[in-house]
A and B are shown apart, each in its own frame.
Chain A
Amino acid sequence: DAGITQSPRHKVTETGTPVTLRCHQTENHRYMYWYRQDPGHGLRLIHYSYGVKDTDKGEVSDGYSVSRSKTEDFLLTLESATSSQTSVYFCAISDPGTGGFYEQYFGPGTRLTVT
């Protein structure tokens, strides 16, 4: 398994509070991604990073911000959590690899509940 960890694995928080999720990799991969997974929607990209301090928005970025100050860490912040952000959050990594094809590898996920 690719060396990807996510913390915390489970979190319950109240509406309006800030929340930060952490993704840590030991693979030195260039690209890192944050997804959310909800029933009926599959996986949706929130933000991704293509290098230290280089990030871009995904399909569902509203209400989320990210930071990447080191290759190995990618943080996802909910500035003011809402109930609609209750979801399972996955981090993924990728690198060109042989032939330049970006195969993605996933972390174990964080289950976030906003009450």
Chain B
Amino acid sequence: KQEVTQIPAALSVPEGENLVLNCSFTDSAIYNLQWFRQDPGKGLTSLLLIQSSQREQTSGRLNASLDKSSGRSTLYIAASQPGDSATYLCAVSDSNYQLIWGAGTKLIIKP
């Protein structure tokens, strides 16, 4: 059974720092991996989708990498801003086009 783990559960850093969020999964047979952002009391916003054949995807200050063989993905945020404060979730897609979710990393960027 696929399991997705995100470490750390919470992270607080000063504004301007570059940071990395981690996601690991137990079964490398995935179709894709998605990173989402969730603001308090709000829905989820898709940030990046990495196909199983890809190594990384970039969107603005965000870069997500995927290493299927080791069961790991990282989300790199450059030059962090207070507006980046949110919970970040990763999810992997299995053969049934369902998503298996990590519990998320709560990120706080201090001004």
Contact = CB atoms under 8 A, between A and B. Distances in A.
Interface of A: 31, 33, 40-45, 48, 58, 90, 92, 94, 99, 101-109
Interface of B: 31-32, 34, 36, 42-46, 49, 51, 89, 91, 93, 97-99, 101-104
B43 A106 contact: yes
20 contacts: A40-B103, A42-B101, A43-B91, A43-B99, A45-B98, A48-B98, A90-B44, A99-B51, A101-B49, A101-B51, A102-B32, A103-B34, A104-B91, A104-B99, A105-B46, A106-B44, A106-B45, A106-B46, A107-B43, A108-B42
A40 B104 CA distance: 10
A90 B34 contact: no
A41 B101 CA distance: 9
A42 B102 contact: yes
A92 B36 CA distance: 13
B89 A101 contact: no
Contact of A58 (B31, B34, B91, B98): B98
